[in-house]
Structure 1
C-alpha cells in the first residue's frame, strides 16, 4: 500500500514541495523520485474527486433554488387572487367557491398517493435488499444494458469518486477489488464478496449514494 494513502491534502502538497526542492538540488535517489510521483498521482486523484463533488453540489443547489423560486411564484399568485375584491353577486361568489372545492375534492380522489418505498434497515444485507425486489428487478434487467467489463464501463470521474469514497483513497486496492468483482461467476457470488469483505473492511453504508451506484454497476455486470 502506498504511503500517500495516509497523507491528507496539505501533507501531500508539503511533501511534493520539499521533494521538488531536493530534486532540483540533485538530492533524490530513484526510490525517492518514485515516492514523489506516487504523491503527485494521489494529489491529482483527490483534486479530481473534489472537483466532481463540487460540480455535483452546485448542480443540486441550482435545482433547489429554481424549485424555491417556482414555489414562491405560485404562492404570490395565490395571495393576489385572494386579495381581489369581487363585484359579482355574493350568492354567485359562494357557488363559485363551492365548485372549486368540489373540483379539488374530485382530483384528490382520482389521484392516488404513491406508497412510500420501504427503506432498508441499517443491518440489512445486500442479498436481503435485492431479494425483496426480485420480481421487479427481473423486469428492470430487460431494459438495462449489460456490462462486459467493469474497468471500461466506469468513467474517469466515477473511478476517482469510488477510489476516494469507497476504498479510502487507495487506487491499488480499488484495482485489485475491481478485478475480483469483474471475474465472479454470478451476481450472488459478487454480493457475497461485498458483504463478507468490503462492507466490513471499508465500512460501506448500504444507503450511501456512492455505494448504491457502485453496486448497480456490479449488478449490470452479471445481467
Structure 2
C-alpha cells in the first residue's frame, strides 16, 4: 500500500525516545475504503433494527448478524492499517540511514526503508551461519565482529540467540551477493532467498561498546567446537538425506 508522507519528525543523527512519532503518512485510498466499510456496517445495523420477530426474519437476522460481524472485522483491519501510517520509535536511540529525500508529499511504499535506529543500549549484529556449522556454536559464545570497512575497529560480541529454523528468506538484503555481500541469493516472489542452507543468529556488542554510526557489513569470528573433516563430511551427508526424504 502506497501512502503520502505528511510529516517527517526526525533528522539524521537525532536522538528519539521510545514511542516518539518519526513519520506520518496518509492514504486517500485507505480512507475511502474505511468510509465505505463504515457505511456498509451502518446499513446492516439499520436492516437488523427493522426486522420483526417472525421465523423468516429471524433467519435473515442470523445472516445479517454474520455480515455485521464480518463488517466490523473489516473496519478493525482498515483502522489498524491507518494507525500503521504513523511510525513511532520502537525504542530509544539515534536515527541513522535516514532517507534524505523524504519530505512531506513524498510517496512511500509499504516495504520501503525510511530510517534505522541504533539503540542507546548498544547494537545487535545479525549474522548467517551455515547449517553444517550450527551444532558447533551455542548461546554465550564470544566472538569478534570485523567490519568490511578497513578504518573500523573490531568489536567484541557475544552470541545471544540462534533462530529455531530458516525458511530460506534473506531478511537483510545487504548480505546478498548481488549487493556486495557474501551470501548467494536468488529473487523469488519479490523476496530474496538464499541458495544454500543458512540460519540466522544474533550477537550483542560487549562492554557497552558504542554502536556503529550506520549499517555496517562484515564477518564474525566466534568460538566454536572443533570437528574433524570426516565428522563434518558425515554431518553434511546426513542433512542432505533428511532434506531429500522431506520432498
Normalised by the length of structure 1, the TM-score is 0.28
Max radius of gyration: which structure? 1
Greater per-residue helix proportion: 1
If asked which structure has higher relative contact order (CA below 8 Å, sep 6+), I would say 1
Normalised by the length of structure 2, the TM-score is 0.26
